Structure 1
């Protein structure tokens, strides 16, 4: 009889552990995750271009997810729809806006103080979904991917509302054309100001 009781106790202990351990692990993981929404304005231009350009005002919007490594250190990944490009002042593309639309995925290491101020740095991959060159949308003058380095600062309140600024420095050339006297190895550069809310 004692053996039966002992076996039953072991069985129920193992069963109870198998039900509670995954739940506590999942809860602990969820407590380390932060989800949010963000949107804002962009100010972009090309660097290393040998044709005249002016900056172009655009936008970005999307979602964010962050994993808290410690109380103050986080790894954050964003999924943003963003517009970039420049105003062409003649030569290569005539006069008009060069609008490039990307799905941008920055991956950042963030340090956030107990007061809510933060700094962040990392890399970004952009995947072009559309281009509009002076109203022409059926050509492919620009590459489909864009790689950049990212740095930023900002503030997040205890209720989750925040504001941030980033500079996105293009590392890969974006031109995808051959033209006499026009270099195609210029790069995207983009400054962003965002408002966000973390759940």
Structure 2
């Protein structure tokens, strides 16, 4: 996947007038609407990823303008993703668990940018991520025959169960005003599995998925 990223950048630069390139920088921040895709069940119960995690992203951007129509936009972001899932096995062991899977990454999107009309542009390209925080927050409801319901909360650090690196593909659009303000909308599909291997704390075959809305400013 890293070879693909390098080849992607090389092809983009070599296909245009690189000697005419100019660079601009800026900042951006926004909202993440994240979820997890993949198989979310095991042999003992049904685990449903029924809701996503709403988080944020914030960071800096750099745009390398290659021509009037094409540029290369790279970003360095702190980004919160994850999912919410439930485990209801009260008939067997008397427990219902609502869990929040919280994953925070430092991400590096490397995007080809094509200006469709004036400030309106389309973006697409790979995204690399490095995990900096990973935990599960559980809300556990237990009950049983002649036993009152009890509710407790716990937080589990799952850094040993999570792959350090994440790889995905991003596609989106951006609109920039003449004063440097811009708004972006983007969808990022994870291509790497979140867990390292089969663990009890997290289901296997899960990948990140996030829709982002951003506001920013280019200096």
> TM-score category by the smaller chain?
0.7 to 0.9
| Structure 1 gap ranges (5+) | 1-28
- Aligned partner (choices 129, 133, 148) of residue 132 of structure 2: 129
Does the CA contact (< 8 Å) of 2:20 and 2:66 recur in 1?
Answer: no
Does the CA contact (< 8 Å) of 2:21 and 2:67 recur in 1?
Answer: no
User: Structure 2 length as normaliser, TM-score?
Assistant: 0.72
Does the CA contact (< 8 Å) of 2:184 and 2:215 recur in 1?
Answer: yes
1:161 pairs with 2:181: yes
- The structure carrying a bigger strand percent of its residues is 2
1:196 pairs with 2:216: yes
Q: State the partner residue of 1:36.
A: 26
| Structure 2 gap ranges (5+) | 1-18, 41-46, 89-95, 138-154
Paired residues in the alignment total 170
RMSD of aligned residue pairs (Cα, Å): 2.2
Moved over 6 A (4+): none
- 1:90 and 1:68 mapped to 2: Cα distance? 49
Q: State the partner residue of 2:3.
A: none
1:149 pairs with 2:139: no
Alpha-carbon distance, 1:183 to partner: 4.7
Does the CA contact (< 8 Å) of 1:106 and 1:125 recur in 2?
Answer: yes
Does the CA contact (< 8 Å) of 2:70 and 2:115 recur in 1?
Answer: yes
Determine helix, strand or coil for the equivalent of 1:71: coil
Alpha-carbon distance, 1:112 to partner: 1.8
Does the CA contact (< 8 Å) of 1:131 and 1:140 recur in 2?
Answer: no
User: Structure 1 length as normaliser, TM-score?
Assistant: 0.79
1:134-181 per-position Cα deviation (integer Å, ceiling 9, x unaligned): 12236423211110000001200111101010000011111124247x
Q: State the partner residue of 2:193.
A: 173
Determine helix, strand or coil for the equivalent of 2:189: strand
- Aligned partner (choices 160, 167, 184) of residue 140 of structure 1: 160
Which structure has the greater CA radius of gyration? 1
Matches within 5 A, 1:51-66: 51-53=47-49, 54-66=51-63
